[in-house]
Amino acid sequence: MNNRLKNGIALSIIPQIIIVKWLGNYPELIENYYSNGLYPFISSFYRLALGWLSFSLGDLIYGVLIIYAIWHIIRNRNRIRKNLNLFLRDVVVILSVAYFTFHIMWGLNYYRIPLAQTLELKDSYTTNDLLAYTEKLIERTNKLHYEVTSDTAQIVEIPYSQKEIFQKTLNGYLDLKTRFPLFSYKNPSLKKSTFSTGLTYMGYGGYLNPFTNEAQVNAKIPNFRFPVITGHEIGHQIGYSAENEVNFIGYLVTATNKDSYFKYAAAAYALSYSLSEIKLKDEKKFHELYSGLNSGVQKNYEELNRFWLAYENPLEPVFKSIFNSFLKANNQEEGIKSYSHIVALLVTYDMKYPLE
């Protein structure tokens, strides 16, 4: 590749950024022509092409590229030092190509119409609404817990393999699409990440590879949380980028599953977010509500907390900071905090479709 072409590709990142930000002002355009137009064809093609592989091609590609980049820098370190400007130009060329590919393959979904608007949910809720929902959710969680254990003090052990959880989640999406066709999912490309240990140290439950459209789930996640994380990553795959929205989709597909263990996992998941939101507003009320949980439910929360504590490390905040910046650059102004915005979707959804 000659220098003129490289310079052109490198400089093209500027108009690319301008165009993407401009398109972000027109969510209806993105929704109609990308999220419900071009993207489903791209996604279906890659799921058909790669879904049959038992391993993650995307993880393999990432691994090879990282090793090659390190090898290249070490091997050419002297030349890089002498021609630092050219090296930096080449880095920008790579970033420019990656930026273009990322947005065409998946990233423009960050600018689609918000899910709350699509589902015609209310745009706000009160503290009383949150309290009423949480109290109802505590009752549901306790009830589901007792259904699967017959003992309020027993921890729930979901008795399925991760492969079985994958299949049950796919069945859940089949059921969910009868109510909400927008959540239709077929030709699955759902895999356990090769980098599960690394993801755990970074504090992540999984990710969607936007370049191969493979949904990656952290295989180390306890089964108590595994169903919702699986549903979450498929939510990304069907075209939803905002973390609060895929958190909600992961909850919804797990909560509507016919399996009692899945229903319990979903209820406990939603409850953890609503209780956290109450804790921020009124810690005394939080402790009062938390004490009303079956001790077996509390043990599941403690199990999950111990899991993450075991992998805490000094680099985790660095990875979280990088991801936080990535989210802010992609139309999620509050970054990682946007995960907790699932509460608004949970409460307003319950206003429209009350828990049974």
Predicted confidence (pLDDT) per residue in 37-58, tens digit: 999 999 999 999 999 998 899 9
How confident is the model over 256-287, as pLDDT tens digits? 999 999 999 999 999 999 999 998 889 899 99
Question: In terms of domains, do 190 and 216 share one?
Answer: yes
Between CA 345 and CA 125 the distance in angstroms is 10
Q: What is the DSSP letter of 155?
A: P
| Predicted TM-score of the model (pTM) | 0.92
Q: Which of 85, 111, 137 is the last residue of a domain?
A: 111
How many CB atoms are located within 10 Å of the residue 187 CB?
A: 14
Interior angle at CA 252, CA 128 and CA 264, nearest 5? 85
pLDDT digits (tens, 9 = 90+) for 298-331: 999 999 999 999 998 886 777 666 656 655 666 6
Q: Of 84, 111, 138, at which residue does a domain stop?
A: 111
State the total domains in the chain.
2
Q: Are 130 and 214 part of one and the same domain?
A: yes
Residues 89 and 124 in one domain: no
Q: Which of 111, 141, 161 corresponds to the end of one domain?
A: 111
Domain containing 189 equals 115-352
